[in-house]
Structure 1
Amino acid sequence: MTDTLQEEHAAADHAMRNWTFESQGPVRIGSDAHKQMFCRMLLDTHNPYKPAVIDWPALKPAELRRLTSLPIWDIAVQTEGRASIRVATYAATIDDPLLRRALEMDGGEEARHKIVLSKLVEAYGIRLAPEPTYPAPKDPEWSWMMTGFSECIDSFFAFGLFRSAQRSGYFPPELVDTFEPVIQEEGRHILFFANWYAWYWRTMPWWRRPWFCARVAAVWVQLIRDRIGIARGIDADGAARDANFPATGTADIGDALNPRELIELCLVENDRRMAGYDKRLLRPMFVPRMARFALRFLKK
């Protein structure tokens, strides 16, 4: 990589992680300024990397064996495929030009994540199950919330697991560097979703709120059911997966962390990845709060 390309890469990486809204002073949650702030955050921090030109590093036999043995690639590719369709379908229902642009950006980045994963499995000869079709959801709002809340859970734990894998040397540094932008993008996505949710609630007519609360509760029930199924070896579409990975994968991928240490690492990494964005933006709080609550019952 030339010096110019390195400088461009560093500048794009910095812009992706650090952003402050141009308007000064307090921003009321639910206001038009709030909507502009969280939409502009997503649009302005977009990293224009191209998956097609990623230079996948050569791996040593042991590194390649560790990578290809992970039973996560099928579900990872399919999750990103579903997410991109869900977000794009919801974006198409939005009349507000700025919000629609931000949602389209979100969906485009999800599609790019799928391409990155597809390029990785191609580069390293990882065999996948036949990929299903991704039909447009019949209920766009429901599917958008399924994706948003799901990412709030998954990204929180991904932050800690990724850092653990980096510290342990499970993946070579070159591969970690390649995936770092993808992990940070997920942080931007959940920051955007948390603020969209707060804004959407504040701007919603009072008579719609009870039904909306019921839908949100139903989303969480579905997400919990999905994760119980995955822990048992069944993915969200009913396909069998490796049931042992959720129980043993953290020790295999990263440091030999006990549950308390893993949760503490996830909390630290969550704060670190959110630190560079405007402090007036709401942070995703539900999963970190539940994690801190769980720490009360885990031995030090």
Structure 2
Amino acid sequence: MDGGITGAALRRGVDIDALMALVEAFEPPRNGHAAATPEEVAAAERVSRAWTSAEAGPLQPGSEAHRRAICAMFHETFNPYRPAVIDWPRLAPEELQRLTSLPIWDIAVQTEGQARLRFAAYAASLGDREMQATIMLNAWEEDRHKQVLSRLVETYGIALDKEPAYDVPRDAEWGYLLTGFSECIDSFFAFGLFDLARRSGFFPAELVETFEPVIQEECRHILFFANWLAWHRARLSPWRRLRFELRVAGVWIHIAVLRVGLARTIDRKPRNDNFTVHGAQAVSPVPMGFRELLGVCLSENDRRFAGYDARLVRPTTVPWLARQVLRLGGWRR
């Protein structure tokens, strides 16, 4: 298995500098630090969308076969693209204005910055070497996402607020759950918004395609998280499982409080009072309400997961909630 890290080295990380050192020293699969050829990136892109485990039989959550399969999926679908060599396309003035006016850049950069530390901290708490290496790869990829975003905002002159001081989670599992479930929410809507941007022609096709590996990488991330969650739950005793489910409920409540606070923060700025719908309007010339956006997100969610082994668990909470909203039919724009 790629990713040479030791349990002793991981357990040293108790502050931000130590955790970042672990992320930066991590060796991703297929020499991911080296420049990959366009052919290698294209081949990895194909594999990242269609993967089947070599494990025979059902992948029962909690089993060793399930653990091996989800770790293998994450490593074998690794894409070796490098942010430093991305050729950002030149934008026309109106395209640049659309890009810079999107209300996402501060939040996106800060989210990736925090995610890499939370994933690294959780990896540092584990004794399972294979799971350790897989979650540390996830942390490394989150750091790569931050590099992509940082280069984008630098290239196009997008002004950002000063990044806040990132914190090291005192409770590594809580931080991992909080970030994992948050990514499930964000990725679900990102799938739909990205498809709208692709179809609308509001942005050059070259710019959209530049971000395609990042979006598919988020799909891999939440696929792994959903399967880790199923695997972890299945291994708990009844009492530990009850405690864990109470913790999961607490995480969802915490996310809800954070999202309400975020909405209020955005509402104080000169932008639309519905962040998600405003995002849809910013990437498409066609007026779209929240229910229509949910339909696009559900379709894209199903499409992006379709190529992965059907025996793997899929994220279900956010798609289920979206389907309930569509069934109710009472949402107003």
TM-score, normalised by the number of residues in structure 2: 0.84
Does structure 1 retain, via aligned residues, the 8 Å contact 2:102–2:282?
no
Q: Which digits, 9 at most, give the CA deviation of each residue in 1:66-110, with x for residues without a partner?
A: 111222111110000000100000000111111001100111111
CA 1:299–1:217 in 2, change beyond 3 Å: closer, same or farther? closer
Offset at residue 122 of structure 1 (A)? 0.5
Match of 1:278 in 2: 309
Distance (whole Å) between structure 1 residues aligned to residue 81 and residue 112 of structure 2: 17
Offset at residue 18 of structure 1 (A)? 1.2
Offset at residue 30 of structure 1 (A)? 0.9
**Number of corresponding residues:** 293
Q: Out of 290, 294, 298, which is 1:267 matched to?
A: 298
Matched, 1:249 2:248: no
Does structure 1 retain, via aligned residues, the 8 Å contact 2:219–2:304?
yes
Aligned-partner SS, 1:84: helix
Distance (whole Å) between structure 2 residues aligned to residue 147 and residue 154 of structure 1: 10
The one-letter code matched in structure 1 to 2:305 is: M
Q: Out of 90, 113, 129, which is 2:161 matched to?
A: 129
Q: Out of 41, 45, 48, which is 1:13 matched to?
A: 45
Distance (whole Å) between structure 2 residues aligned to residue 8 and residue 56 of structure 1: 19
Structure-to-structure mapping, 1:1-300, within 5 angstroms: 5-233=37-265, 244=272, 246=275, 247-254=277-284, 255-298=286-329
Does structure 1 retain, via aligned residues, the 8 Å contact 2:70–2:227?
yes
Aligned-partner SS, 1:17: coil
Offset at residue 36 of structure 1 (A)? 0.7
4+ residue segments displaced more than 6 Å: none
Distance (whole Å) between structure 1 residues aligned to residue 293 and residue 192 of structure 2: 7
Q: Gaps (5+ residues) in structure 1?
A: none
The one-letter code matched in structure 1 to 2:250 is: A
The one-letter code matched in structure 2 to 1:42 is: F
Offset at residue 193 of structure 1 (A)? 0.4
> CA-atom RMSD, angstroms?
1.8
Does structure 2 retain, via aligned residues, the 8 Å contact 1:42–1:102?
yes
Distance (whole Å) between structure 2 residues aligned to residue 273 and residue 241 of structure 1: 33
Bigger Cα displacement from structure 2, 117-126 vs 164-173? 164-173
Q: Gaps (5+ residues) in structure 2?
A: 1-35
CA 1:139–1:25 in 2, change beyond 3 Å: closer, same or farther? same
Aligned-partner SS, 2:265: coil
TM-score, normalised by the number of residues in structure 1: 0.93
Q: Which digits, 9 at most, give the CA deviation of each residue in 1:144-174, with x for residues without a partner?
A: 0001000111101110011011111122111
Does structure 2 retain, via aligned residues, the 8 Å contact 1:16–1:47?
yes
Distance (whole Å) between structure 1 residues aligned to residue 256 and residue 313 of structure 2: 24
**Identity of paired residues, percent?**
55
Distance (whole Å) between structure 2 residues aligned to residue 84 and residue 243 of structure 1: 29
Offset at residue 299 of structure 1 (A)? 6.2
Q: Which digits, 9 at most, give the CA deviation of each residue in 1:19-66, with x for residues without a partner?
A: 111122222111011011111111110101100111111111111111
Distance (whole Å) between structure 2 residues aligned to residue 7 and residue 48 of structure 1: 11
CA 1:15–1:210 in 2, change beyond 3 Å: closer, same or farther? same
